[in-house]
Amino acid sequence: MNSRLPSVSPAPAWHAALHLAFARTGERTVLRDNRHHGPLRVQKALYPEGEGVCQAIVLHPPSGIAGGDHLLISATVGAGAHAQLTTPGAGKWYRSGGPEASQRLELTVEEGAALEWLPQETIVFDGARARMETRVRLAADSRFIGWDILCLGRAAAGERFEHGRFDLLCRVERGGAPIWLERGGFDGADPMLASPAGWAGHGVGGTLLCAFPDLPRQAAGLLEALRAIAPGDGASHGITALPGVLVARYLGDNSEAARLWFARLWQTLRPACCGRPAVPPRIWNT
């Protein structure tokens, strides 16, 4: 008797969206709007340092992004409000059988407002096919600190990014004019990953951006203080102030060292940018 195994359909792709809006009410920042579709959400507004700063932890219950998944996260911080967004753990881009996955981040910071985007690292599995886009729109007097740490392959498992495709876009604009624009893309085992002009054979790269109206006046003092802080693993790094934005770069092989270095830079930058001492999110310790 002949028999045939039943066909197995691929798991359905997730199309998820999260829309957040923060507003200032008196001396308090409130999460005025919290709408989601699919597996993206914020469970509640948190106030670990008082009512002036509203912290939101962005949850993605599947814990990873697979081929064909498309995620949209948008957040608007209203005039005079202060919001801080972070994540509970590392993001993961899984191996794809063909379809591209994507994540789009749309951040708007209105007059006199402040936004901190402080996610934990993103791990790109070998064979992933993915695209990440980040767009930040700042008003003339708003403030922003944000970072991203990208890990190519799972170093602890001896995995390198040798197959697949990854594309990146990051645009920060103030008053409609770009102050930071970066676009890149590479295939698995792309020669640029080994080139001294690219990743130089390393597997972890990170960028921190900070923009606030008083940056030009404070840039020299901040650069001196920040350049005295080095990554704990001795990785290649650099810090510079461009017109309108301060940029820090990490290039090495240790995502924890990159995150700890950015956190130390943030501790110096936050008082200058946001007028508040740095209070590390408790979720980073779990």
Q: Which residues of the chain have pLDDT under 70?
A: 1-12
Residue 3 lies in a domain: no
Residue 284 lies in a domain: no
Res 6: pLDDT: 32
- Write out pLDDT tens, residues 26-52: 999 999 999 999 999 999 999 999 999
Res 159: pLDDT: 87
Residue 86 lies in a domain: yes
Res 12: pLDDT: 63
Residue 8 lies in a domain: no
Res 14: pLDDT: 81
3-state secondary structure the chain: CCCCCCCCCCCCCCEEEEEEEEEEECCEEEEEEEEEECCCECCCCECECECCCEEEECECCCCCECCCCEEEEEEEECCCCEEEEECCCCEEECCCCCCCEEEEEEEEECCCCEEEEECCCEEECCCCEEEEEEEEEECCCCEEEEEEEEEECCHHHCCCCCCCEEEEEEEEEECCEEEEEEEEEEECCCHHHHCCCCCCCCCEEEEEEEECCCHHHHHHHHHHHHHCCCCCCCCEEEEEEECCEEEEEEEECCHHHHHHHHHHHHHHHHHHHHCCCCCCCHHHHC
- Write out pLDDT tens, residues 72-81: 999 999 999 9
Res 8: pLDDT: 30
Residue 229 lies in a domain: no
Res 4: pLDDT: 35
Res 88: pLDDT: 93
Q: How many domains does the chain have?
A: 1
Residue 227 lies in a domain: no
Res 63: pLDDT: 77
Per the structure, the complete domain to which residue 171 belongs is given by 15-203
Residue 124 lies in a domain: yes
Residue 214 lies in a domain: no
